[in-house]
Amino acid sequence: MNSIYNVVIAGLGGQGVLKASDILADAAFRAGYDVKKSELHGMSQRGGSVSSDVRFGPQVWSPMVPTGEADVLVVLDETQVEVNRAVLAPNGVLIGPDRLDAAALKNKKSLNVTLLGALSAHLPIASEHWLAAIHANLAPKLHKLNEQSFALGRAAVAVREAAAV
């Protein structure tokens, strides 16, 4: 990865793409990075595609991730993999729901935060910043559920990497 981290989060309207990118941008900002974020949504209220670019590093000039330069592509719906694959860098990481044990999710609405947990294993942002961002961007009644979801996503990456060794 470069000194600028490029992340694209994509999914369908109502899946929490924008909330996930808000949490990522907040966590990166809390970690001391310059952060830029942009959103693209078409017919999102009717289940259409939604994507959000988040860039962070020592100094970021543009909020848009150039085509072929995303270090990580997070998709909340498998139908969005091919739609967004062009943004992924040749050595980029693709994170999708297939990386998780869907049966372990206590609430399917927390899939976006679970995938952020998986994403967190690939970015230089401390867990304390992620948890503070989750608390700042979600209602207090949702904190415990989303903390568990975040931990589930992070653990899924650890299990996969251990299995690959």
Instruction: Say how many domains are in the chain.
Output: 1
Which CATH number do you get for residue 118? 3.40.920.10
SS (H, E, C) the chain: CCCCEEEEEEEECCCCHHHHHHHHHHHHHHCCCEEEEEEEECCHHHCCEEEEEEEEECCCCCCCCCCCCEEEEEECCCCHHHHHHHHEEEEEEEECHHHCCHHHCCCHHHHHHHHHHHHHCCCCCCHHHHHHHHHHHCCHHHHHHHHHHHHHHHHHHHHHHHHHC
Question: Model confidence over 121-145: pLDDT tens digits?
Answer: 999 999 999 999 999 999 999 999 9
Mean pLDDT of 98-105: 81
Residue 156's domain comprises 5-164
Question: Model confidence over 54-101: pLDDT tens digits?
Answer: 999 999 999 999 999 999 999 999 999 999 999 999 999 999 998 887
